[in-house]
Structure 1
Amino acid sequence: MNISDLVGRPYAEVIEELETGVQGLWASWNVNAVDLDTSREKRRYVLGMFPYPSGKPHLGHILVYSIADALARLGRFKGEEVLNPLGWDAFGLPAENAAIQNDARPEEWTATNIHDMRQQIYRTGFSFDPTRELNTSSPDFYRWTQWLFLKLYEHGHAYRTLSWVNWDPVDGTVLANEQVIDGRGWRSGAVIERRQMEQWSLRITQFAQELHDGLDELTGWSPRALSAQRSWIGRSEGAEITFAIEGTGHTVDVFSTRPETVFGASSITLAPEHPLTLELVSPEEAAKVSEYIQVSLRKTELDRQTQNTKTGVRLGRNAIHPITGDRIPIFVSDYVLSTYGSGAIMNVPAHDQRDFEFATAHDLPIPFVILPPNGQFPMAKPDRAYTGDGIMTGSGELDGLSNSAASDAAIAMLSERGVGKASVRFRLRDWSIGRQRYWGCPIPMLESPTGEWRPVPYDQLPVRLPTDVVFGVAGARSPLATSEKFRIVQTPEGEILRREVDTMDTFMDSAWYAWRFLAGSTDEAWPLSHADNWMPLDYYVGGLEHASQHLLYFRYISHFLHSIGFTPTREPVRRFLDSGLIKLGGAKMSKSKGNTVSPRDIIADYGADALRLCLLADTPFELDREWNVKTAAAKMKFLSSVWRLGGQIARTTDGRVITEAPNVSDDWSVGALAMLSEFAEAIEAAVDQRRSFHNAVALLHSFFNVIAHLTTEVGESEARAEVLNFIFQSYLKGLGLFAPHVAEALWQATTCGAGSLFSQPWVPHLQVSRSSAEVQLPVQVNGKLLTVVSVAAPSPDEELREVLPDLVGERLSSALEAGHLERVVVARGTDGRPRLVNYVVR
């Protein structure tokens, strides 16, 4: 079809035909293709977090990809080779559950959903290269997930151990700590149980310090994303203190961030999961302690941390204070967590509120060893701990020191006596990746009859998922265990081995998929040269909720790959753009609440361009925004105005692509080109430097009003007409970042089909002569353009406020009389010349 034939017809009538026709042109021209082996010096890798194929994309997907698409298209305009791919996070529990419920195969359910989502997402006109699309449930992908696991195993990062795990009783699988939100499963919402189980884990803690320190390099990340990462890594400095256990050969190590308070320790307490809890308990207390542990393990970590009463029972053993030699009792209590420190604490009730509550409940001594700065003891019968700074007392040679100075002295004292040392601990725990589900990547490990684990040879990958599994078999560790063909392996030498029947956490797929997009057609995970040229990501766009899960794993895998020479930098993402939520009625959209809005419906009513514009308008991308369909209607109305004016301009053009600004000297042309130059520089800075997409959309509105005004002043002048055509063609490039269909169609109409708009260079940096004594100044009221007037270039604000009413005339007077003038805003360019005046009237 000839897109230009649509120009002149009402925009509302041609939206679908226009947008699908333009997409057909893009496909025929292959405008979104990327050359991974490009010789261009500048490359840009933009990635929106890939979706789970549920079959129904939501507005959050469209917001993320609208942001990524604007960045990708600007990169192409600027002459960069741009990679902006789409993939499918296709493994996961929903597909498996749907298969069980509907007697379908997970791969069939997933393939159908991918087909539906692909159609809807591509209908929005994003500039994805379809040849780069990937699917994590394809053997072509998970072969390399298994390859990555074997690399981790080969370098000592993957190991199997008996450990306490978070068990989701609804999804029937283990979850990593980061997948437990407020004590509940991140997908199911079920209350998490604690169990012991043999699991495959990854040594993410081996890079804990590097992951913490690397956050200082991430200047392109928001403070809230960095804060989420720091919180989960949880670095704490302090001391490891060793308590000998009376009458045994055992010792217990505790970690404290306040080692100077060791003199105030009146007991030590172990977590229910601590490996020595049951070993140290006396015979007299064994039954009571065992019962307490069972009750504790049924509680969530959140409940254990927030419960008002600090419960606990004595083990019937004493520890020896490492400095004083005093005997102090040992307890087990569920407020102590095995996921922090060493799973054991020294109770210092006078200077820790939780310890104070515990000591009060169990009638333990509360010795104060830090005096307030006034040197006075707290009340005789304290009702709370003193947690402030002060002066040491009752601490031997530390007395008289400030508690901050005493911290280092206490560590030195403990070290000299061989009962302690300086230590750094992390909240972060190794990543448990084994899942007792079917629809995931098989773990490529084999167990020998003697219990030895061996890796599957690289040349035997992929280990494919079996198709003969039975779901819901009682006693089966996972569905894979029901397939004898899968589970039993006979070597050429006749040895019988058993495959691992757990599958990998689906976060393993997303932890490395950015590199797989670089694979091209090579028979390897990715060429090292591609990683060198394209990593780290220039822009990564997604929700903040992934900052403490996916992004932590993504960074860990990147640190690992860098350590073995497979990627050029430790950090995988230069700039992470964490988008806000889209809400309806003040609540987050969700299927369970029945408050979702279908992008397909909005596109059908208003068009893809209007949807993209309204999602980015008015609100900074990182803030939550309330969905209002009236905004989509308003953006369609705006595009309709652009469409009409574009058609008018197209009828007066000679069909040329004007690549350079016309050489002009009259004040009207100089002023018009100066305004274009300021617009182009402002929208480029808004998108590529400040990521102020809402400001960029506002610039599209305001500069369109300028163009509309300039159109009325062209008259019969051919020179002015050429200037106007150049300005409008340049404007379409800015519009194309957010409304690519309308921009492409009008480009075709004004240039008589001279190739795609998106194969053109960005608006040239105009060397417009600024020697003119006057500038063309847009005058607005409440952001709406009234007119453009010529004013003296160096006019100060006061002078403009004085002369503009006379220059603009009755239109301004009427607007001012219609309300109360709150203020007059004068915007100036970097050269100090006025560029816009806006009257704010209420």
Structure 2
Amino acid sequence: MEERYPFAAVEEKWQQRWAAEGLYHVDDFDSRPKYYCLEMFPYPSGRLHMGHVRNYAIGDVVARFKTMQGYAVLHPMGWDAFGLPAENAAIKHGVHPRDWTWDNIAFMRRQLKELGLSYDWRREIATCHPGYYRWTQWLFLQFYHRGLAYKKKAPVNWCPSCATVLANEQVVGGACERCKTPVTRRELEQWFLKITAYAERLLKDLEKLSGWPEKVKIMQANWIGRSEGALVHFPVVGREEKVSVFTTRPDTLYGVTYMVLAPEHPLVSKLATPERREAVGAFVARARSMSELSRTAGEAEKEGLFTGAYCKNPLTGEEIPVYIANYVLMEYGTGAVMAVPAHDQRDFEFAKKYGLPIRVVIQPPGRELDAATMAEAYVDEGVMVNSGPFSGMPNRDGMRAVTAYLEEKGWGRHQVNYRLRDWLISRQRYWGAPIPIVYCDKCGIVPVREQDLPVLLPYAVAFKPTGESPLKDCPEFVHTACPQCGGPAKRETDTMDTFICSSWYYFRYTSPREESGPWDRAKVDRWLPVDQYIGGVEHAILHLLYSRFFTKFLYDIGLVGCEEPFTNLLTQGMVLKDGAKMSKSKGNIVSPEEIMAKFGADTTRLFILFAAPPERDLEWSDQGVEGCARFLNRVWRLFNTLLPEIQGAPVPGANLVGVNRELQRLTHLTVKKVTEDVERFNFNTAVSAIMELVNGIYQFCDRVPPVDRDPGVLREAVEKLLILLAPFAPHISEELWARLGYTESVHRQSWPTYRPDLLLQDQVEIAVQINGRVRGRIVVPAAATAAEIETAALEEPRIRQWLTGKTVAKVVTVPGKLVNIVVR
């Protein structure tokens, strides 16, 4: 028997055997209760990183644990395979995106298998496969037929480096979330999905997600951004038009001293007076070229221009000037703002800069504001002043009262608004699912017929960094026949945002080869919702919100039976090295391949799970990896030493005593702790408990001669150790289990149970203090009373020596812990 764990030979042996036996295959209608365990699928970039390893190791422990608890576990894997990196690689290296992607998938699939992950590979999917994106296109048509997919001209976020449009959620800090290039604005005809139609349900149903981290629910709620207020109509002086404004502060309407329109507002060109038209046009052009962040950031300079037009305040009849300003965006609210500089900081700064009036209409309790001396806007609660019949009213009450008055007069109404915007899904790139729409001079916009799907991506295209889809220069793709009239037509050349593909993939895993529809309804009803979803918190807004939207839509049209896709969510932390996230640019990458080649998959997995709780960031430690390798070698040596003694040993007796009972008790305590810790995802403390059991077995063998050992107790300890270790280090556990003589996999064993009666201690060791200093220890029955413990302490010979010549003033006893004897 080898002295060290021969991980390379053992891991290869069992990976091949598991695959040949279909160990991780699960039948859709298995009689056991179902459990759907899913990790977010990766983009096939070509190499796994340690973040991947952490995500998949966590999911694998959960899947194996639930299987051993008696569940039929669905644990699939696939590839989020469309996206910009593949196309950028084509431009840079002359490699076709399809070839680049499939080569990467093959490499990463091999890496995942080398980790010994318990995936049912029969269910593997790739979103770039025509058999998958056929149904992505079909789902787009379901949105289109119900009026939830539409095309409009709109200002969009443009990444000049990626040469494509980005959704608002893909812009982080004013830059592209993928390449960090500052984002600019363009106006283009784009396709949208009407996610705003689901805003209230997406917000309200967060209450149902009790198994989600609170921080993720808060992030989604803030992104949806529900706000209540009033829609107020301000007539334009001398014209028929009105400027409509949504405000959350109708209580400040008497303080409006000017109006501000977004440069993109459709009324701007109409309201600009002849003498100001040229200057207004130049300002609009300049503002449109700026990114959203550069226009709205708190520290950004507020710039504006008077249009020459005036609006009338419906409550006061006062004529107020209409400006345009860079800090107002058309996408938020109505694209118009009623400026109340005394009670809004941006309006205050703008008014100060351009010499506009400031009127106080909310006074704080206990002091009086003077507009002439205010250094900043007052934004807190108070009493309404200078507000006609509402003066003297608490402003909170005033909000409702003013809104009711507006409704009574026909000047406005109560309204709920959302920060959430419709989902922009058009991408001017090749490597994505083609949008199944054609344009006919006679029929207009026409959807592709469902029986004609998929609209296939052509292989022969030219990749140029032009900012337009390469599909535009592919005539065999562009030119087609109209599905409606049969005449000549042109295909849509934009492709879909890759988040469309990942918004429904968890349904496809249930029926990955289904051809009559996107999935088999009976199988979806069997497996969905996902019981445990695992992935990075960086997807809290994009992927998770989009997936919830998709699921609610599919529920509404009768395609699925659940309204929420993921019952429980675990968001794991990042893997850091030297305090920073691992990245090529920082030069702090640790390759999973190198670690597995040096230490093996079991060690790699064990360290990732042991080094930190899953929800926290994990600091990489070479010493920690080496420590986990040493631990597995200790397990290996312990087993080899004990095998002759425990092989064929009988079941341990029911009424053991002494050291044998102590080891049995430690074994059952460990089963209890590991079970509870895994259920709570405290994998690090579960591994620690397993390590303590190994230490306990070693200590038992060191201090108890073979003649006094109960071999059944040792066998029970070793067998339970291997089963507990199996989800964390599956290869070594499987090998040692087989060497015990078992023919059925350790991963098909039932999760061990513990005997509650064995958790109770017969005896406890108690520290004895004299005047607060420990002077000795006593061993007493666990059930001993305080009086019995006190007597035992006072009669202990070593303690009596310390009491000679002294008077005992008081004895304080804490049963099970300590005795403190106070003397003088």
Shared fold, TM over 0.5: yes
The answer for the alignment partner of 1:792 in structure 2 is 781
The structure-2 alpha-carbon separation of the partners of 1:803 and 1:298, relative to structure 1 and needing over 3 Å to count, comes to farther
Alignment partner, residue 763 of structure 1: 752
Q: Residue in 1 aligned with 2:630?
A: 637
Where structure 2 has 5 or more consecutive residues not aligned to the other structure, the ranges are: 767-777, 799-813, 819-824
Report the counterpart of residue 689 of structure 2 in structure 1. 699
- Deviation of 1:396 (Å): 1.4
Residues 38 and 76, structure 2, Cα contact 8 Å, conserved in 1: yes
**Distance of 1:292 and 1:698 partners within structure 2:** 64
Q: 2:469 aligns with which of 478, 496, 503?
A: 478
Match of 1:447 in 2: 439
User: Where does residue 496 of structure 1 map in the other structure?
Assistant: 488
The 2-side partners of 1:772 and 1:626 are apart by 38
Q: What letter is aligned with 1:386? A: Y
Q: Which moves more between the two structures, 228-237 or 137-146?
A: 228-237
- CA 34–799 in structure 1, closer or farther in 2 if over 3 Å, else same: farther
Higher gyration radius (CA):
2
How far off is 1:636 after superposition? 0.3
C-alpha distance in structure 1 between counterparts of 2:630 and 2:726, whole Å: 17
1:652-672 CA-to-partner distances (Å, cap 9, x unmatched) read 23358x8x8754444555443
- Distance in 2 (CA, whole Å) between partners of 1:578 and 1:406 is 43
Query: Which residue, out of 41, 64, 78, partners 2:69?
Result: 78
SS in 1 for 2:228: strand
What CA distance in whole angstroms lies between the structure 2 residues aligned with 1:436 and 1:216? 37
> Take 1:447 and 1:250, find their aligned partners in 2: how far apart are those partners?
35
User: 1:95 aligns to what SS in structure 2?
Assistant: helix
When structure 1 is superposed on structure 2, of 374-383 and 618-627 the one drifting more is: 374-383
Q: For residue 406 of structure 2, what is the aligned residue in structure 1? A: 414
Q: 1:655 to 1:107 in 2, by over 3 A?
A: farther
- What is the CA–CA distance in structure 2 between the aligned matches of 1:86 and 1:140, rounded to whole Å? 16
* Structure 1 residues 241-320: aligned runs within 5 Å: 241-306=232-297, 307-320=299-312
Report what 1:822 is aligned to.
Answer: none
User: Are the equivalent residues in 1 in contact too, given 2:660–2:710 (CA < 8 A)?
Assistant: yes
CA displacement at 1:221 relative to structure 2: 1.6
CA distance in 1: counterparts of 2:677 and 2:791, whole angstroms: 32
CA–CA distance in structure 1, aligned partners of residues 475 and 509 of structure 2: 35
Residue 522 (structure 2) aligned to one of 518, 529, 552: 529
Deviates more, 1:174-183 or 1:305-314: 305-314
Cα drift, residue 300 of structure 1: 2.0
**CA displacement, residues 200-226 of structure 1 (integer Å, 9 cap, x when unaligned):** 110111100111111122122222212
Separation in 2, partners of 1:293, 1:600:
54
Residue of structure 2 aligned with 1:543, choices 536, 542, 549: 536
Q: How does 1:619-768 map to 2 (within 5 A)?
A: 619-654=612-647, 663-666=654-657, 668-688=659-679, 690-712=680-702, 715-716=705-706, 720-750=710-740, 752-766=741-755, 768=757
Taking the aligned partners of 2:790 and 2:2, their CA distance within structure 1 comes to 42
The match for 2:317 is 325
Across the aligned residues of Structure 1 and Structure 2, the Cα RMSD in angstroms comes to 2.7
Name the counterpart of 1:436: 428
CA-to-aligned-CA distance 1:784-809 (integer Å, 9 cap, x gap)? xxxxx9863236999999999x99x9
Supply the distance in 1 between the matched residues of 2:217 and 2:75 (Cα, whole angstroms): 24
2: distance between equivalents of 1:379 and 1:491? 65
Residue 119 (structure 1) aligns with? 110
Question: Is contact 1:48–1:541 with CA below 8 Å preserved after alignment?
Answer: yes
Shift of 1:199: 0.9
> In the TM superposition, what is the alpha-carbon distance from 1:64 to its structure 2 partner?
0.4
Please state whether the residue corresponding to 1:167 is helix, strand or coil: strand
Q: TM-score, normalised by structure 1?
A: 0.89
Q: Following TM superposition, by how much is the alpha carbon of 1:375 offset from its aligned partner in structure 2, in angstroms?
A: 4.8
Distance 2:57 2:465 in 1: 45
What is the deviation of 1:521? 4.0
Distance 1:730 1:230 in 2: 45
Distance 1:328 1:294, change over 3 A: same
Output the amino acid matched with 1:576: L
Deviations 1:378-419 (A, max 9, x none): 474211111121111111121111111111111111111111
Which amino acid in structure 2 is aligned with residue 711 of structure 1? Answer: C
Using the TM superposition, give the Cα deviation of residue 277 of structure 1 relative to its aligned residue in structure 2, in angstroms.
Answer: 2.1
1:185 is matched with 176
Partner Cα separation in structure 1 for residue 523 and residue 661 of structure 2: 45
- Bigger shift: residues 388-397 or 96-105: 96-105
**2:510 is matched with which residue?**
518
1:620-651 deviation digits (Å, cap 9, x = unpaired): 21111221111100110111111111222223
In structure 2, C-alpha distance between the alignment counterparts of 1:595 and 1:301, rounded to whole Å: 33
- Structure 1 residues 736 and 376: alpha-carbon distance in aligned structure 2, compared to 1, 3 A threshold: same
Q: Deviations over 1:259-279 (max 9, x none)?
A: 101111111111122222223
Residue correspondence of structure 1 range 163-242 to structure 2 within 5 A: 163-242=154-233
The answer to whether the aligner puts 1:35 opposite 2:27 as a matched pair is yes
Of 499-508 and 335-344, more deviation after overlay is shown by 335-344
Q: 1:673 and 1:502 mapped to 2: Cα distance?
A: 66
Answering whether residue 381 of structure 2 is matched by residue 393 of structure 1, we say: no
- The yes-or-no answer on 1:612 pairing with 2:605 is yes
8 Å CA contact 1:473–1:479 kept in 2: the answer is no
**Range with bigger deviation, 795-804 or 223-232:** 795-804
Q: Secondary structure at the match of 2:189?
A: strand
| Counterpart-to-counterpart distance in 2, 1:291 and 1:771 | 83
Residues 176/43 of structure 1: CA separation in 2 closer, same or farther (3 Å cut): same
Q: Secondary structure at the match of 1:72?
A: helix
Q: Percent identity?
A: 39
Q: For residues 443 and 801 of structure 1, what CA distance do their matches in structure 2 show? A: 83
Go from structure 1 to structure 2 and tell me whether the alpha carbon gap of 1:410 and 1:797 turns closer, same or farther (over 3 Å shift). farther
**Offset at residue 494 of structure 1 (A):** 4.3
Tell me, in whole angstroms, the C-alpha distance in 1 between the residues paired with 2:246 and 2:347: 14
Q: Would you say the 8 A contact 1:271–1:338 is kept in 2?
A: yes
Q: CA deviation at 1:714?
A: 6.0
- By how many angstroms is 1:102 displaced? 2.1
Secondary structure of the 2:190 match is strand
Q: Partners in 1 of 2:611 and 2:334 — Cα distance?
A: 49
Deviation of residue 547 (structure 1)? 0.8
Q: Which runs of 5+ in 1 are unaligned?
A: 1-7, 778-788, 810-825, 827-831, 837-842
Contact kept in structure 1, 2:340 and 2:348, CA below 8 Å: yes
The letter for the 1-side match of 2:624 is: T
Q: Is the 8 A contact 2:383 2:394 kept in 1?
A: yes
- Determine if contact 1:674/1:768 at 8 Å carries over to the other structure: no
Distance apart, 1:308 and its partner CA: 4.3
Whether the aligned pair in 2 keeps the contact of 1:618 and 1:695 (CA below 8 Å) is: no
Read off the aligned partner of 1:497 and give its amino acid letter. Answer: A
Contact kept in structure 2, 1:245 and 1:318, CA below 8 Å: yes
Is the contact between residue 610 and residue 739 of structure 1 (CA under 8 Å) also seen in structure 2? yes
Higher mean alpha-carbon deviation, 392-401 vs 794-803, is at: 794-803
Task: Give distance in 1, aligned partners of 2:168 and 2:588.
Answer: 30
Is 2:139 the partner of 1:144? Answer: no
Instruction: Report how many aligned residue pairs link the two structures.
Output: 788
Distance 1:519 1:833 in 2: 58
Q: Which moved more, 1:429-438 or 1:739-748?
A: 739-748
Partners of 2:585 and 2:315 lie apart in 1 by: 58
Residues 55, 534 of structure 2: 8 Å contact kept? yes
Partner AA of 1:590 in structure 2: S
C-alpha spacing 1:15/1:373, structure 2 compared with 1 (3 Å) = same
| CA distance in structure 1 between the partners assigned to 2:600 and 2:669 by the alignment | 29
Aligned to 1:821: none
